[in-house]
């Protein structure tokens, strides 16, 4: 029995800042980002958007595209590192919003949860959901990757920002991709990138040695959380290389394969924190599989390697360069980009294999593969990813800064035929912090 992906949808911000504009305002040579890293646009959420709206809009489109009713969906698992609550998962918001359209309690018997492990959380959600369908082959499930990759202004991560969600229908006898059970994995606890709670005393905040009640907080110690991470770019890159290399050879071991297994893959999908990350890091595996002794920088410039990149990795980069980092969704945006590229090229992918190399800071990597199914073109025909990306709305640098600082109160583009964030409760002590959404 085959198990895998039958449909994919996306919800990406309609706003973008050209990388050239960002570079010029940061005194960076634009070509260093455009030609050096493959970056062209940076998607950014509007005032009414967040990871909940991205996820819900992607799932809603999936249900509509496939003409599915809520009762047909047994689970919705969300992979994210942008949780908006330390207890209530994004997935619970998703079904709560969907019931605004489908009716109260229509998702009452749908299992939901979030899985968090930096940028690999949605792969973890996919793996456990594939196993669920293998045990329950008549059921259907949805896996969602939703994130907002936001970095501090003027930081070295600023130009890699991006946001959005990918939703995937998982079932038996899939239309697009079928996945075997084997996964290679490599894990090591490190601090290459993380989003800690920061603790401050009231003395530091209020300049008093007393402990007055402050916004309902009785404790003298106050915890703050910010969306932007603490990270070490060079160290994180090395952790990425170490984990994916180890996971790749672990996958080779658990599948009892000989030779360079990447040669069995029509295309390679990797986590892309920026567009050219895959081509810059896969060279380590390429060198080891081919017993090459030259420096990897030298190997990466050879015609053989460049031809290999064009054939296997380039299709996944197309959308990444137009969107930016999507954290847990990046590897699946690469998948969507690859499928849409081959659809445009009228490629014959039936029974070809895709290799997946996923990474999450902290850190963990997983390597696995999937086989393209006979009906993939029919399923991909309605996606129109590239057309959407060509028509996103350009914002100026001043608007970007106000959106980043959350100073803008009105949306640049009002919500239209979509779920939107209405308000966050501030007055009711029993609901303070609760987020309320609508559809228009």
Return the pLDDT at 314: 98
Amino acid 93: pLDDT: 98
Place of tokens 């005032």: 47
Q: Is residue 282 part of a domain?
A: yes
Specify which residues 140 forms β-bridges with.
73
Distance between CA atoms of residues 310 and 317, nearest Å? 10
Beta-ladder partners of 370: 354
How many Å apart are CA 430 and CA 309, to the nearest integer? 54
What pLDDT sits at residue 216? 87
Sign, CA dihedral 388-317-401-119, equals positive
75 belongs to a structural domain = yes
**Domain-located, residue 112:** yes
- Phi, psi of 400, rounded to the nearest 5 degrees: -60, -45
pLDDT at 275: 98
> CA-to-CA distance for 53 and 59, rounded, in angstroms?
10
User: In which residue ranges of the chain is pLDDT below 70?
Assistant: none
Helix (H) or strand (E) holding 177: strand 177-178
pLDDT score recorded for residue 434: 96
DSSP state of 213: -
CA 333/CA 145 separation, integer angstroms: 10
pLDDT for 296 equals 95
Rounded Cα–Cα distance for residues 22 and 28 (Å):
8
Looking at the DSSP bridge assignments, the partners of residue 11 are 165
Cα angle 201, 204, 205 (rounded to 5 degrees) comes to 90
Kindly state whether residue 286 falls inside one of the protein's structural domains. Answer: yes
In a domain, 350, yes or no: yes
Tell me the backbone φ, ψ of residue 366, rounded to 5 degrees: -135, 140
Query: Is 395 part of a structural domain of the chain?
Result: yes
Please write the tens of the pLDDT for every residue from 158-213: 999 999 999 999 999 999 999 999 999 999 999 999 999 999 999 999 999 899 99
Burial class (CB in 10 A: 0-12, 13-18, 19+), 4: buried
Distance (Å, whole) CA 395 – CA 146: 22
> Does residue 22 sit in helix, strand or coil?
helix
What Cα–Cα distance (Å) separates residue 194 from each residue in 151, 153, 207, 361?
Answer: 12, 17, 29, 7
Contact 132, 367 (CB under 8 A): no
If you compute the radius of gyration of the chain from its CA atoms, what whole number of angstroms results?
22
pTM (two decimals): 0.97
Q: Which domain holds residue 126?
A: 3-192+232-439
Q: Is residue 368 part of a domain?
A: yes
Structure tokens at 101: 């359209």
| 15-18/393-394 β-pairing | parallel
CATH code where residue 160 lies: 3.40.47.10
Number of domains in the chain: 1
pLDDT at 163: 98
Measure the CA–CA gap between 171 and 318, rounded to whole angstroms: 28
Is 83 inside any structural domain?
Answer: yes
Whole-number pLDDT of residue 422? 97
């Amino acid at each position: 029995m085959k198990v895998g992906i039958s449909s994919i949808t996306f919800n990406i911000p309609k706003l973008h800042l050209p990388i050239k504009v960002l570079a010029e305002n940061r005194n960076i040579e634009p070509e260093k980002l455009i030609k050096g890293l493959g970056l062209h646009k940076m998607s950014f959420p509007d005032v009414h958007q967040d990871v909940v709206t991205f996820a819900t809009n992607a799932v809603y489109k999936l249900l509509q595209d496939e003409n599915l009713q809520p009762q047909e969906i047994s689970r919705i698992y969300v992979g994210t590192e942008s949780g908006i609550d330390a207890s209530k998962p994004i997935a619970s918001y998703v079904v709560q919003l969907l019931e605004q359209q489908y009716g109260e309690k229509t998702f009452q018997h749908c299992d939901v949860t979030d899985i968090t492990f930096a940028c690999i959380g949605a792969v973890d959600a996919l793996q456990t959901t594939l196993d669920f369908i293998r045990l329950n082959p008549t059921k259907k499930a949805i896996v969602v990757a939703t994130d907002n990759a936001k970095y501090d202004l003027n930081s070295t991560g600023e130009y890699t920002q991006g946001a959005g969600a990918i939703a995937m229908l998982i079932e038996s006898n899939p239309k697009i991709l079928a996945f075997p059970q084997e996964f290679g994995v490599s894990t090591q606890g490190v601090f290459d990138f993380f989003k800690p709670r920061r603790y401050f005393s009231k003395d530091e905040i209020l300049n008093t040695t007393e402990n007055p009640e402050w916004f309902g907080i009785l404790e003298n110690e106050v915890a703050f959380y910010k969306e932007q991470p603490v990270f070490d770019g060079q160290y994180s890159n090395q952790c990425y290389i170490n984990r994916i290399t180890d996971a790749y050879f672990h996958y080779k071991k658990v599948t009892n394969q000989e030779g360079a297994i990447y040669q069995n893959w029509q295309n390679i999908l990797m986590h892309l924190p920026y567009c050219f990350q895959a081509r810059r890091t896969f060279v380590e595996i390429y060198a080891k599989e081919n017993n090459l002794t030259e420096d990897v920088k030298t190997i990466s410039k050879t015609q053989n390697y460049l031809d290999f990149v064009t054939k296997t990795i380039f299709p996944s980069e197309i959308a990444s360069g137009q969107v930016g980092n999507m954290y847990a969704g990046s590897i699946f945006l690469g998948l969507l980009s690859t499928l849409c590229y081959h659809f445009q090229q009228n490629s014959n992918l039936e029974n070809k294999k895709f290799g997946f190399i996923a990474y999450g800071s902290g850190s963990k990597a997983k390597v696995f593969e999937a086989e393209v199914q006979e009906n993939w073109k029919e399923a991909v025909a309605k996606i129109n990813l590239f057309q959407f990306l060509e028509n996103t709305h350009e914002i100026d640098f001043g608007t970007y800064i106000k959106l980043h600082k959350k100073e803008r109160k009105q949306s640049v583009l009002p919500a239209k035929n979509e779920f939107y964030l209405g308000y966050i409760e501030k007055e009711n002590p029993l609901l303070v912090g609760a987020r309320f959404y609508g559809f228009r």
